[in-house]
Structure 1
């Protein structure tokens, strides 16, 4: 097994791979727990998620957005995205590693690359949220220098208590 590398997704050629990883992420969330299933279906009902998957290239378009993939032996094993919120703020979205890539350091590499890309793109701050139950993800973000904060966007009712919000300021 070779090392994982992180790079910009080659769109549109790799869009199906990115979409597959995003659907796998949704499936992972739904299967995590009953509570997570309800939360996921609140944030990402299947029909709306399908529309989001079709809109990924526009929603994360360069020069202010980005779609990165973690690649291992020519296969996309993870993905993450940058979405502009304003001229100064970006949000990291849909960071997901396939089961085969977990525990390899790929999540760290991908998350660091997303932060580096946001910095290179001129953002002053990067925001993200994750589920309170995702202790490894929370530890990773804190290791990268993210700090806890409150919500930065409107949320579906009843979801805030399940999430942890972070920011990284350059």
Structure 2
């Protein structure tokens, strides 16, 4: 196992962690001791970057507790409590308790209305918010997802032709 990632800033329990996956961000809440709790579509692989694009068509997700460095993988991350000026954060004790109680729960998932950012903002602020879902972003993600499927089909056909 690798050593935990150095923190770009001091992480505090209850902080929202934004993990850059290239075309989108994965979100988690820091719960202390190097761990985060996050909502992960069953098709998403921690630290997978572009290969986790399959989360576009997922309809369920599981709440997981993982070490931050495992979830981040090779991607970059930062603390982003972006709604602190608009909404009052819940008490840290309540954020952590609610997050821990949710671990293992399978939940409905929608990239538009019930994604990982909605999950963590609901924990921190009591309001489910996500700014990352935009028409342009979804069109871009859909194009990448379509290309991924088409490439997979081509590779499968080539493999089948070699076997014949």
TM norm structure 2: 0.26
More strand by share: 1
TM norm structure 1: 0.25
